[in-house]
């Protein structure tokens, strides 16, 4: 991953990372954006010594479900309308031009790790070449040249691409969702899952104008118990998922404590059963880095609702009343888990995801506050220099 992962490949292909003009290293990128610690709402957010959390965008609307960015960090997408149109229920932000692009979709965006294409869920799943965005549209209907639709891909899809000119991959599965802090959230979701499906492959051919879906292939054969909340590592070789055995017999507290299981996928259109690779503590869906940082570690981001004050002291009371969510980095080579945010009561750090050279995240304020913020963190670069 250090020398041949998507981060290394994108660097070799001279993909320009957003906010990195003149930077001598990834940690020097985005220096023109204000640090969260200089704002009234962001004091204390930086939990890791030496970390920089930078505010990339403040929005005046409410997003819907998760947020994702392109591999170069220029485009940020999520459900939620940035205008009053009933047709355009999603938004793609172009951070380079500071424009919001109304999009005819609902939620669950995803960007492929080679910066070539993106996917959005609407009346079906839509995939578009990234050139559709770089052309500077004022809105997206997702029927533009370079876009295609398919019914093969279900909700909660995660995307990846095989290295060396292989297929693009999408995995979808059964999932457990919550409202992302729109109402009081003081615990992680229950892991009551029944996986019965996962996976779809796409043609890669560089000569093609669009991605063409191949028939879905199931990857759950041979798995014991119930699995869901599947994600996909960018090179499409590993699929982290949340296992749940005998879920009906578990008390709610037990259902929240199950580990995440990372499985290796074999790149065959009639795949063998995936093999268990490792486990990591993660109650909800993670995202994984497109490549390792210069060391050989492979950090994974997770969400946790636990806040910093102990539950037994009065300082914790505001968290019980308003809830909160923090982000953690888990190094899969060591198992070390590091908290990288220190959110206040009523603030939810959500939807972590990596771009090729680092990490973006979105803290969502309490519903009583106005707007949301797209935030970038260099925590992964600090922990794996």
- What is the predicted pLDDT for the residue at 222? 41
pLDDT range class, residue 372, cuts 50, 70, 90:
confident
Give the Cα separation of 83 and 99 in Å (integer).
12
Name the one residue in this structure whose structure tokens are 């992964």. Answer: 380
Annotated domain spans of the chain: 1-59+286-385
Quote the radius of gyration of the chain (alpha carbons, Å). 20
Give the Cα separation of 377 and 76 in Å (integer).
15
Give the Cα separation of 154 and 100 in Å (integer).
26
Between residues 129 and 346, which one has the greater pLDDT? 129
CA distance to 64, 67, 146, 217, per residue, from 109 (Å): 11, 7, 17, 21
- What is the predicted pLDDT for the residue at 210? 54
The single-letter DSSP state of residue 35 is B
Residue 243's DSSP bridge partners are: 227
User: In this model, does residue 93 exceed pLDDT 90?
Assistant: yes
The SS3 call for residue 160 is strand
Between residues 346 and 270, which one has the greater pLDDT? 346
Least confidently predicted of 78-82, 181-185, 297-301? 297-301
**Residue 73 class from Cβ within 10 Å (0-12 exposed, 13-18 middle, 19+ buried)?**
buried
- What is the predicted pLDDT for the residue at 130? 94
Task: Quick: pLDDT tens for 184-224.
Answer: 777 666 655 544 444 444 454 433 445 666 665 555 444 44
Give the Cα separation of 228 and 246 in Å (integer).
14
Give the Cα separation of 283 and 229 in Å (integer).
10
pTM of the shown model = 0.82
> 76's torsion region: left (phi>0), alpha (psi -120 to 50) or beta?
beta
The SS3 call for residue 301 is strand
Give the Cα separation of 157 and 300 in Å (integer).
18
Task: Quick: pLDDT tens for 267-309.
Answer: 554 443 333 333 333 345 566 665 543 333 334 555 454 444 4
Strands across the sheet containing 359-364: 53-59, 372-377, 359-364, 348-353
pLDDT range class, residue 237, cuts 50, 70, 90:
low
Structure tokens at 14: 């001279």
- What is the predicted pLDDT for the residue at 301? 57
- What is the predicted pLDDT for the residue at 40? 84
The single-letter DSSP state of residue 132 is H
Give the Cα separation of 124 and 190 in Å (integer).
27
pLDDT range class, residue 226, cuts 50, 70, 90:
low
Give the Cα separation of 66 and 110 in Å (integer).
9
Nearest Cα to 111, choosing from 370, 356, 338?
A: 356
């Amino acid at each position: 991953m250090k020398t041949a992962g998507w981060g290394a490949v994108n660097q070799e292909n001279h993909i320009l990372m957003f906010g990195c003009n003149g930077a001598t290293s990834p940690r020097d990128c985005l220096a023109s954006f204000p640090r969260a610690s200089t704002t009234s709402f962001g004091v204390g957010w930086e939990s890791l010594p030496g970390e920089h959390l930078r505010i990339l965008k403040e929005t005046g609307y409410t997003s819907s479900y998760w947020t994702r960015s392109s591999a170069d960090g220029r485009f940020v997408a999520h459900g939620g309308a940035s205008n009053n149109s009933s047709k355009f229920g999603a938004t793609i932000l172009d951070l380079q031009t500071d424009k919001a692009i109304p999009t005819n979709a609902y939620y669950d965006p995803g960007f492929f790790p080679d910066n070539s294409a993106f996917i959005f869920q609407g009346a079906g799943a839509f995939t578009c070449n990234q050139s559709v965005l770089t052309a500077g549209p004022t809105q997206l209907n997702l029927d533009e040249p370079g876009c295609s639709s398919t019914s093969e891909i279900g909700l909660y899809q995660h995307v990846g691409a095989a290295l060396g000119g292989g297929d693009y991959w999408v995995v979808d599965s059964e999932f457990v969702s919550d409202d992302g802090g729109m109402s009081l959230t003081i615990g992680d979701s229950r892991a009551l899952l029944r996986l019965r499906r996962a996976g779809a492959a796409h043609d890669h051919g560089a000569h093609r104008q669009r991605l063409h879906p191949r028939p879905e292939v199931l990857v759950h054969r041979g798995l014991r118990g119930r699995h869901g909340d599947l994600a996909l590592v960018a090179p499409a070789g590993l699929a982290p998922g949340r296992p749940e055995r005998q879920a009906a017999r578990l008390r709610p507290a037990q259902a929240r404590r199950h580990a995440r299981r990372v499985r290796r996928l074999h790149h065959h259109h009639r795949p063998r059963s995936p093999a268990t690779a490792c486990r990591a503590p993660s109650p909800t869906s993670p995202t994984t880095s497109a490549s390792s940082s210069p060391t050989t570690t492979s950090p994974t981001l997770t969400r946790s609702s636990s806040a910093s004050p102990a539950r037994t002291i009065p300082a914790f009371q505001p968290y019980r009343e308003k809830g909160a969510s923090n982000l953690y980095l888990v190094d899969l080579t060591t198992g070390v888990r590091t908290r990288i945010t220190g959110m206040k009561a009523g603030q939810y750090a959500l939807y972590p995801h990596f771009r090729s050279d680092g990490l973006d995240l979105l803290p969502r304020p309490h519903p009583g506050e106005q707007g949301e913020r797209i935030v970038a963190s260099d925590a992964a670069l600090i922990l794996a220099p």
